[in-house]
Structure 1
Amino acid sequence: MAKNLLKIKRRLAFLLLFCLLLSCVMIIRVFWIQFVRGDELRARAEEQWTKDTPVEPVRGTIFDRNMNPLAISAKVNSVMASPPDIKDVESTAEALSEILNIDKESLINTINDAKAKKKGAIYIKRKITDEEAQKIRQLNLKGIYFTEESKRFYPERNLASHILGFTGIDSQGLDGVELVYDKFLKGIPGRIIKETDALSRELPFGDERYIPPKEGLNLVLTIDKVIQYIAERELEKAIAENKAKRGTIIVMDPKTGEILALANKPDYDP
Structure 2
Amino acid sequence: MIRLRRILNLRVVAIALYLAIMATIIWASWAGAQRMGYNWQWYRVPQYLYTLSDDGFQPGELLIGLWASVKLSTAAFALAVVLGGAIAMLRLSGLIVGRGLAAVYLELIRNIPLLVLLYLFYYVLGPIFGLDRWGAAIITLAIFHSALISEIFRAGINSVAPGQWEAAAAIGMSRGQAFRHIIIPQSVRFMLPPLTGEVVHLIKSSAIVSVIAVAELTTVGRNIISDTYMSFEIWFTVAAVYLVLTLLLSFGVSVLERRFKTG
Give me the TM-score of the superposition, normalised by structure 2. Answer: 0.29
* Structure with the higher strand share, 1 or 2: 1
- Whose Rg is larger? 1
Give me the TM-score of the superposition, normalised by structure 1. Answer: 0.28
* Structure with the higher helix share, 1 or 2: 2
